[in-house]
Amino acid sequence: MVTISSEVERHHQISGEDFLVNYVNKSQPVIISGVIPKWDAFSKWSLPYFRSIAPELNICAKKFHNGKIARESFTIEKYAEILEEYEQTKNQIQPPYCHDIPLFSLIPSLIKDVQPFALDYLPKWYAYKWWRYCQFFIGSSNSLTPLHFDCLLTNNLFFQIVGRKQFTLLLSEDSKYCYRHNWRWFKIDPEHPDFEQYPLYKNARPIKVIVHPGDILYMPPGTLHHVRSLDMSISFNVDWHTSKSSFNGIAASFKGMPVKNVYYNLLLALGLIFKVPPQVVFRFYKSYLNYVS
């Protein structure tokens, strides 16, 4: 069954081959439903659950303000308390957003809650300890990730577990209308665009989609996204390369990609193009998961 959701196709249970041929190879975003809803994560995961299994674990949360990011660290115990209070009262300042956390590596018991994992959609190279490439996003309703593309120009499979999120997507060819700064961030606020200050944005074609629990959203390399949590939310993604995107990720050194990012792309290209085993590559790639910029 195929339905169109404001220009992003929504499919029920497509095969790995279909996904590769019709979406990855054509750089088309897609939402895939019906693949993961049987995961135990849907009945188990919540912030109180994470608190019950790892109360003392320290997690880093971010505040995005005027193009700058401030970081603060909390125990899960404290973070759960802050979010609970916010969801009950909704009248205080927006809590910081726990963003890009490798939670499966920090709490390995969570890995069994996402079985069988959607490995058909990833290159085989990622199958070995795939959870090491997952980054979590945990936050209150109204949390916001401002407009950006993913910093290594990877593909992104985004798994929505708890709550809904509204994504505003812009395909990479529209980035020239969005006023880029600092490699991967953009000055446009797609929810309140200021056409006087940023007139080129009139030419852009933003696509709004709502991602629900059980959905997988695929974003091709370089897709701009602005993400608003509509509810308290738990999600995670896998940023991954094909051999072609890893090559493009290296070539992006000529388009202003920071040297450190090119280094991580070189490592991934060693795996995807030259078949260096993941056990070897990951030793050097690991630090990326705490870097992400």
Query: Does residue 160 touch ligand AKG according to CB under 6 A?
Result: no
| Tokens 């019709």 -> residue | 22
Give the CA radius of gyration of the chain.
18
| Tokens 């993913």 -> residue | 150
* 136-155: contacts with Fe ion (CB under 5 A): 150
Which tokens hold the place of 187? 């000055």
Q: How are strands ordered across the β-sheet holding 2-5?
A: 2-5, 8-12, 30-33, 216-219, 155-162, 233-240, 134-139, 97-101, 58-65, 68-75
Distance of closest approach, residue 72 Cβ to ligand AKG, in angstroms: 17
- Tell me the per-residue interface mask from 182 to 221 with ligand AKG, x by CB under 6 A, - otherwise: ----------------------------------------
| Tokens 């407009």 -> residue | 147
- Residue 158 interacts with, from Fe ion, ligand AKG, none (CB under 5-8 Å by kind): ligand AKG
Query: What DSSP string runs through 209-278?
Result: EEE-TT-EEEE-TT-EEEEEESSSEEEEEEEE--HHHHHHHHHGGGGT--HHHHHHHHHHHHHHTT---H
Q: Which is nearer to ligand AKG, 11 or 99 (CB)?
A: 99
Distance of closest approach, residue 144 Cβ to ligand AKG, in angstroms: 7
* 225-244: contacts with ligand AKG (CB under 6 A): 225, 227, 235, 237
Query: Does residue 156 touch ligand AKG according to CB under 6 A?
Result: yes
- Tell me the per-residue interface mask from 124 to 143 with ligand AKG, x by CB under 6 A, - otherwise: -------------x------
Q: Which residues bind ligand AKG (CB under 6 A)?
A: 137, 145, 150, 156, 158, 165, 225, 227, 235, 237
